[in-house]
Chain A
């Protein structure tokens, strides 16, 4: 199947792709865009924490009012005046009767929110919040703790409990994550591996979509420009398809390797020192595994994209019919991203060995948990089996498709091609 002629085709594909400006740009830009995105997200988070609010806190007793004011005044956001808070005390019935008076301020954003702390909060910790946006979690996260502390202080006041113990009681629980795995010491886990899991999902997904679309376009172009008949007078369709797919596959694997080089250097050298929080627990073997599994899956995907390209003779028709193939990429991508919460869930485990899905999901999962050897192995075997199963069918459609022109064929017609003797 792969011979002198496929080699010539492959070399041409490589020359055209790897030496193109687009390839260089993509290869360099993607990591930059990626870093840019991370900074953008950090900026957004930061921006959010700097947001301002003006709050009115009304309590049912002066004791609560004072205690709450005390706690809020300790907060940096209050000190910097990004949160402006006014306090007052009134009974429940007074508050109810004055509530309509606040409506205008709340609606025209003079007031972000109105908090009412009744006496009963001392026993049930229930506080009322009135606002245009009563589900403002980012605001709740900031004001929860001081109100909680204020209530605790009141609750335990005069109960012969030391400040130290009250302070202990008012602290929330914090988790220190440790990665437990076979054959290694138990290590503290930072955010590094979660980022890595995301990086893997994103890069693999992106690369598959880019190279898939590219080979599809290239097949359509050959069909459209009528080069295909000239080519077929020298090579057969299998040699052509093989050469094109291997050429595109090597291009993508080269690109992926370039993208992963920084990671490999981080793992294998001490040139870079990452902050404790970002240390990544991954081995070189795993990186090579990602590349191998990616290559096998990539070849299958390229085969499918090339086949879709061969069916149509213009980009628009192809684009509108490619969605089933896109689903095979998008669904695994979402699984990989959402799996971060629980990488040992059933969906995560199955998807990491499932045909097509494993290419993206396995690396993403691998970054999060230790994968048993048999699962690594199964994913590769399943991918190879899928490839062997798909290629004879894809090759058949390709062979018929590349010489078809004219009106857009229906799927039923494409199925009929299987019966053609070509």
Chain B
């Protein structure tokens, strides 16, 4: 069973369709990446998952049943636009947000102190939030997200504004949470970050789902037609060849896209037959960034009726 299932979510604001019939599923224990450029509909989707917005249509299921208020208690949400009460003290802030989730008492306070210790904020626990640096406020905000020990952790661009050391502490904690079997959902427009952290990916563009599935499968499917070569010689004869879809010269190397996966072998043969000195032939390389550009790049602008691809 899926931990969380999103079915046919649609949300319109006035004449803008922010989210258009989006469905995806998040398996138990997944590190899930909801990716897309700014304004693609990620935050709106998350807000609907969190019951902050009511969808125009569609539903969200938690372990098979429709989500309600109890879901909010199981979630830790770090929105992209962060905010804390500036006049409140650090520890007070942490306890308040935990209390909203139904957690209070000694145990929570102890845990709060532990996290503060870990983020080197223990000596600031009675400082007012407004007296902390931006980075420290970020850390406090992150602790509020996980202090109540949520089953689901939704992080919207979690590393923006953090220095490398704190980014590492954060990554460590996220990995720990993953080991504890928590579901972690990242929303980000940074593709290489998603590529490193996530095992499942959903890509949204202009409110529409354009890609969805386990990262490994997605990559292997898209890499099947992509070849990266280094060579000496003239390959212009390939331009008119029917198996070639696209050739892009990156300077150091050249990316060639063939029309079908089985064309890769034919391409290699063609190069050899034409006496091209191939120094490198890599048939399995594609970054998430390239997939994203391919799916949501300029082509999409002209062809908004593009079909949603499922893997």
A interface residues (Cβ-Cβ under 8 A, vs B): 4-5, 8-9, 12, 16, 222, 225-236, 403, 416, 420-422
Contact = CB atoms under 8 A, between A and B. Distances in A.
Given A4-B102, A225-B86, A403-B52, A234 B79 contact: no
A230 B96 contact: no
Query: Residue among A4, A16, A234, A236 with the most chain B CB within 10 A?
Result: A234
Nearest to A229: B79
A5 to B, nearest CB: 6
Contacts of A233: 50, 52, 72, 75-77, 79, 154
Contact of B83 (A8, A229, A235, A416): A229
Contacts of A420: 13
A236 B73 CA distance: 12
22 contacts: A8-B96, A8-B99, A16-B88, A225-B85, A226-B82, A227-B85, A230-B82, A230-B97, A230-B141, A231-B100, A232-B52, A233-B77, A233-B154, A234-B97, A234-B100, A236-B51, A236-B69, A403-B47, A403-B52, A403-B53, A416-B14, A422-B54
B144 interface: yes
B163 interface: no
Interface string B1-22: 0000000000001100000000
Contacts of B144: 230
B123 interface: no
Nearest to B141: A230
Nearest to B72: A234
B81 interface: yes
Interface residues of B, number: 33
A85 B248 CA distance: 110
Contacts of A422: 53-54
Interface string B247-266: 00000000000000000000
A396 to B, nearest CB: 12
Interface string B127-160: 0000000000000010010000000001000000
Contacts of B51: 236
Query: Residue among A4, A16, A230, A233 with the most chain B CB within 10 A?
Result: A233
Contact of A421 (B54, B72, B83): B54
A420 B11 CA distance: 10
Contacts of A416: 14
Contacts of B85: 12, 16, 225, 227
Contacts of B79: 226, 229-230, 233
B291 interface: no
For the complex of A and B, the 7 pairs showing the least CB-CB separation, nearest first, are: A226-B83, A233-B77, A227-B83, A234-B100, A226-B81, A225-B83, A229-B79
B4 to A, nearest CB: 15
B81 to A, nearest CB: 4
A198 B116 CA distance: 54
B37 interface: no
B84 interface: yes
A234 B75 CA distance: 8
A148 to B, nearest CB: 66
B81 A235 contact: no
A94 B73 CA distance: 99
A9 B101 CA distance: 11
Contacts of B154: 233
Contact of A8 (B53, B87, B88, B100): B100
Contacts of B141: 230
Interface in B224-274: none
A420 B88 CA distance: 34
B56 interface: yes
A9 B99 CA distance: 9
Nearest to B144: A230
Nearest to A15: B92
B86 A421 contact: no
A234 B72 CA distance: 5
Given A16-B87, A234-B97, 4 more contacts: A4-B102, A9-B100, A233-B154, A416-B14
Nearest to B96: A12
A5 B69 CA distance: 11
Nearest to B56: A421
Given A226-B81, A229-B52, A403-B52, A235 B100 contact: yes
Nearest to B104: A8
Contacts of B86: 225
A404 to B, nearest CB: 10
Contacts of B88: 16
A5 B103 CA distance: 11
Interface in B160-218: none
Interface in B28-82: 47, 50-54, 56, 69, 72-73, 75-77, 79, 81-82
Contacts of A4: 102
